Amino acid sequence: MNLCVCLVILSFNCVKSRSISEKNSIPKRTFDEKNKEHWRQQAQWTLRAKLNKPQNTKVAKNVILFLGDGMSITTLAATRVYLGRKYGYTGEEVKLSFESFPHTGLAKTYCVDSNVADSACSGTAYLTGVKANSGTVGLSGAVKRGDCEGQRDTANTVTGLVDWAQKSGKATGIVTTTRVTHATPAAAYAHSADRKWEADTDLPKHGLRCDDIASQLVRGGVGSRIDVVLGGGRKNFLPRSEKDSRGKPAGYRRDKNNLIREWLLGKETLGQTPKYVYNKKDLLNLDKKYNSVLGLFSYDHMPYHLEADEDNPSLSDMTRKAIEILSRNSNGYFLFVEGGRIDTAHHETKARKALDETAEFAKAVEAALRLVNTEDTLVVVTSDHSHTMTYSGYSERGSDILGFGTKINASDELPYTTLSYANGPGYRPHQDFRRANLMLDDVSSLNYTYPALVPIVRETHGGEDVAVFATGPWSHLFSGNYEQNYIPHAIAYAACLGTGLTVCS
């Protein structure tokens, strides 16, 4: 099977894609790009590859849905250069692992009440098949943000892929680099009128009482049946009364409930063999007897890859372990994997971190492809929304994507970065009617805040469509342009899930 791996260099002498591990054996330029035959042969190779790719119409036994939070098409293009230059190429000519998938589409991301989506309404769309209002998860558009009474009305709740997979006897799992109660993973199992109600401490102090998201993961009809949950956000599962090794509060909850202990007891009641882990070593060395695993590797979000230490598993580590555990189910599995810190880096206009997190996300997709057979496993890669980062300036090939534009001078004769944002904390006020001189900035800093046009504390999302990449059974269903809520319906069709139209019916 021809795997699409994290860094792909097109070679007309060899149809098989090459991985980063083989980089030393790949010539930096297989052909002379100044020669017209180079481009003709490249296009002919792509055409032949597409013509020779048959449509797979088998039932998908397994499904893996990868979600790059905030992974705009601009982010993908910039990450190619970032990753390519890291391994000695100019960068533009390479592909990320999933960019070689045979089928690609575009999803429209708006919410019921907003033209620019947040991670809550978009998560509800691509995980349940129903578009929702901004800030709400697992609820129909009949519920506005903060409407606790609307949340409590079961007529407004919606479930999706995780629930459908569980009802069909499949194993289910969630992997994320954010808190496991954050808006994106929460949409897989919870029903909340406010994405911020992650722990009981976050709930309104007056009025109706609603179940917080963490408690729904442990006690909910869908959440309690998820077999593998890996990510961050330990604080939302432990009470303030418990202390850690440094004598500080181990958690954030005020109801005094230890939800980790409750999760273990609940799994044992269901006849499973559960295990809670909180570091990389314990995750990678898990005994095979454990068929249900909760891994909470940080108090809050997991650290950025560029700042992580040896105790923090990577997204690839967590993805591999989740597949290993879920694959033991003879009926197959549904796994949701989120690269969540792409989004948080963009909100801070820290482009270096955003691109690196995207590269890590691509590596996780590659890790999964090495473990599965796309003859019976449908793999879909997409994003929930875009961001306002732009990629401009006519820089020369091989230029540092995180550096300055090199070809066209600005009319004020001051330098500008190739990457910038429409809004965000990177705004720099003009001095004497002139832009700030970015040459005085250390753009190589890990935490460099890239320039923004409009001052705002946190950079916003963008409203344009996001890309969808698919390979495996019925992956051709993901071609074209469609509403974001179409995605789970197409997945359900391919894997015979839910009550809608499926290949089995």
- The tens-digit pLDDT sequence of the chain (505 residues) is 344 444 554 333 333 333 443 344 334 555 688 888 888 888 898 888 888 888 999 999 999 999 999 999 999 999 999 999 988 888 899 999 999 999 999 999 999 999 999 999 999 999 999 999 999 999 999 999 999 999 999 999 999 999 999 999 999 999 999 999 999 999 999 999 999 999 999 998 876 789 999 999 999 999 999 999 999 999 999 999 998 878 889 999 999 999 999 999 999 999 999 999 999 999 999 999 999 999 999 999 999 999 999 999 999 999 999 999 999 999 999 999 999 999 999 999 999 999 999 999 999 999 999 999 999 999 999 999 999 999 999 888 889 999 998 777 788 889 999 999 999 999 999 888 889 999 999 999 999 999 999 999 999 999 999 999 999 999 999 999 999 999 999 999 999 999 999 999 8
The CA R_g of the chain, rounded to the nearest whole Å, is 23
Task: State yes or no: 305 annotated in a binding site.
Answer: no
206 is in an annotated binding site: no
- pLDDT value, residue 18: 39
347 in a labelled binding site: yes
DSSP 373-426: -TTTEEEEEEES-EESEEE-S-PPTT--TTSB--SS--TTS---BSEEEEEETT
Provide CATH 3.40.720.10 ranges for the chain.
62-388+466-495
Helix (H, G, I), strand (E, B) or coil at 46: helix
The token pair at 310 is 């040896």
Predicted confidence at residue 17, as pLDDT, reads 38
Does 301 count as an annotated binding residue?
no
pLDDT of residue 30: 53
Number of C-beta neighbours around residue 137 at 10 A: 33
Q: Which residue has the tokens 């994290």?
A: 6
Q: With beta carbons less than 8 A apart as the criterion, state whether 199 and 181 touch.
A: yes
Q: How far apart are CA 92 and CA 493, in angstroms?
A: 36
Catalytic residue among 119, 298, 395, 399: 119
Q: How far apart are the first and last CA of the chain?
A: 29
Q: CA-based diameter of the chain, in Å? A: 72
Please report which helix (H) or strand (E) contains residue 123, including its range: helix 119-128
| Annotation says 122 is catalytic | no
Q: Which two tokens stand for residue 215?
A: 């408690």
Q: What is the pLDDT of residue 341?
A: 98
Q: Which CATH superfamily is domain 62-388+466-495 in?
A: Alkaline Phosphatase, subunit A (3.40.720.10)
Q: What is the pLDDT of residue 406?
A: 74
Question: What secondary structure letter does DSSP report for 141?
Answer: T
Residue 346 counted as an annotated binding residue: no
Give the model's pLDDT for residue 263: 98
Please tell me the distance from the alpha carbon of residue 487 to that of residue 492, in angstroms, as a whole number: 9
Residue 99 CA to its chain's centroid (Å)? 15
Q: Of 255, 272, 274, which is closest to residue 264 (Cα–Cα)?
A: 274
Q: Length of the chain in residues, anyone? A: 505
Residue found under tokens 């982010």? 75
Among the listed residues 338, 242, 326, the one whose alpha carbon sits nearest the alpha carbon of residue 292: 326
Q: What is the pLDDT of residue 88?
A: 86
Task: Tell whether 90 is in a known binding site.
Answer: no
Alpha carbon distance 372, 485 (integer Å): 26
Q: Residue 163 annotated as binding?
A: no
- What's residue 213's pLDDT? 98
Q: Which two tokens stand for residue 185?
A: 């993973």
Q: How far apart are CA 83 and CA 91, in angstroms?
A: 7
Q: Name which of 418, 473, 496, 471 is nearest 105 in CA terms.
A: 471
